[in-house]
Amino acid sequence: MTQTLKTKVLIIGAGTGGYVAGIRCGQLGLDTVLVDGGDGLGGTCLNVGCIPSKAIIHAAGKFETVAKAAGGGTLGITAAAPAIDLKQTVEWKDGIVRKLNAGVAALLKKAKVKVIKGWAKFEDAKTCVVKTEDGEIRITAEHVILATGSEPVELPFLPFGGDVISSTEALSLSEVPKKLVVVGGGYIGLELGIAFRKLGAEVAIVEMAERILPLYDKALTDPVAKWLEKHGVDLHLGARAGGLGNGKLNVTTKDGEPLQLDADKVLVTVGRRPRTQGWGLENMGVAMAGPFVKIDNRCATSMKNVWAVGDLTGEPMLAHKGSAQGEVVAEIIAHSSGKGGHDRVFDPVAIAAVCFTEPEIVSAGLGPNDVAGRDDVIQSVFPFAAIGRALAIEAGEDGGFVRVIASKSDHRILGVQAVGQHVSELSNSFAQMLEMGAVLEDVAGTIHVHPTLGEAFHEASLRALGHAIHI
């Protein structure tokens, strides 16, 4: 028997875009139903992406620290050789995920959002049928927010299964593979490849481009490349992966030569694609922009009162972008319904991106490739090697730096980048300055706490003005 349900707002997808939209809709007094048919509350990010990967990366860093202490000592500290039970580490990671799941569930309940677990399929733009464990529910809504997220891209000659894994399976391995081959040298492959190298795996990376992290400029990626070389990670650049057989991955090198790489596991991280199949998007009549759902600056699709947020809407496919879009849509719906809110647009100056590699990379706003050939900009770099806090935590000797790009005429900051240990924590400061339209003098005139890594941002801005203090 099919139940029927009517609601003001129907949200499809419980990831960072969907559940944040749900909470804000509930806070604004909108009758809201959230359908969760994917990875669970929190979506990819919380369950099989951002959060669990950073937990494993953190554990790998701890293991590496003890291993250094056992291998001749570090900072005057010595220790016995460490061992890792990856199954226990994964259980710890799963505990974090469960705690966050419960937190999201509690927040949705507090906001009076009705959560339905099941897979939705749309019959038309405002009606879907959800298959649950207890039967079917037909839901009709005045407003629909699509937040179905994305999924890993599968290579036809390396289908997922067995020893060919995606990042999802990599985060739940019961033991560290002796030999891991990563196909794809983007941020996901490098984050996990570096983590498993720290845990003791022999790691090889196969990347089609001529260098790792091709979306970032070479100065930012060089310190990461040096770490890989120093730690024996085998890089095959300009190379193409083939099939896997008898524990060997077939590779064609940059020179066209065949090569076989021993592999206990092959981690395929060649990108993610929007999740557009299997839930009736074709029945909704919304316009597309290539593989993505087309939206305007209010996150509205071509169908009246149908909205889309997050990875489904295109690059950058970042959790914090989806969350921000979800809030915007909730405000717009509430405003149009006389429930308060604001008639907003989604128009950020910059969305900062972070690679949790070794060392970490941050980029916000324009980079050097975006301003190449322009003579109306200032570029200023300040190395962490000249920052006391960086040296005190062994973060000043890997070639890290902060770079500021600003307009030469009015000193408006156009972009900020950094590479170095723990620089992810500087990303919000970078984004805030860009969003507020800061000029170099604003950063230079802000007293930065000593000793911190953030002093490098201050010094880079001073240097752009021609009077850095510590270099």
Beta pairing partners, 122? 128
Sheet strands (E) in 119-239 = 119-124, 127-132, 135-146, 150-152, 164-165, 179-183, 202-207, 234-237
Backbone angles phi, psi at 2, to 5 degrees: -95, 125
Sheet strands (E) in 234-313 = 234-237, 240-245, 248-252, 258-262, 265-268, 272-274, 288-289, 292-293, 306-308
Q: Which residues of 171-199 are buried (b: 16+ CB within 10 A; e: fewer)?
A: bbbeebbebbbbbbbbbbbbbbbbbbbbb
3-state secondary structure of 42: coil
Sort residue 234 into left (φ over 0), alpha (ψ -120 to 50) or beta: beta
- Residue whose structure tokens are 């909108």: 30
> Taking the CA atoms of the chain, what radius of gyration do you get in angstroms?
24
C-alpha distances (whole Å) from 75 to each of 64, 65, 68, 70, 310 are 14, 10, 10, 12, 44
- Per-residue pLDDT in tens (0 to 9) along the chain, 471 residues: 789 999 999 999 999 999 999 999 999 999 999 999 978 999 999 999 999 999 999 999 999 999 999 988 889 999 999 999 999 999 999 999 999 999 999 999 999 999 999 999 999 999 999 999 989 999 999 999 999 999 999 999 999 999 999 999 999 999 999 999 999 999 999 999 999 999 999 999 999 999 999 999 999 999 999 999 999 999 999 999 999 999 999 999 999 999 999 999 999 999 999 999 999 999 999 999 999 999 999 999 999 999 999 999 999 999 999 999 999 999 999 999 999 999 999 999 999 999 999 999 999 999 999 999 999 999 999 999 999 999 999 888 899 999 999 999 999 999 999 999 999 999 999 999 999 999 999 999 999 999 999 999 999 999 999 999 999
Beta pairing partners, 115? 34
Cα separation, 429 vs 422, in Å, equals: 13
Taking each helix axis from N to C end, the angle separating 16-27 and 319-336, rounded to the nearest 10 degrees, works out to 30
Q: Which residues are catalytic?
A: 450
The pTM of the full predicted model, rounded to 2 decimals, is 0.96
3-state secondary structure of 280: coil
Torsion of CA 275, 278, 283, 288, to 10 degrees: 20
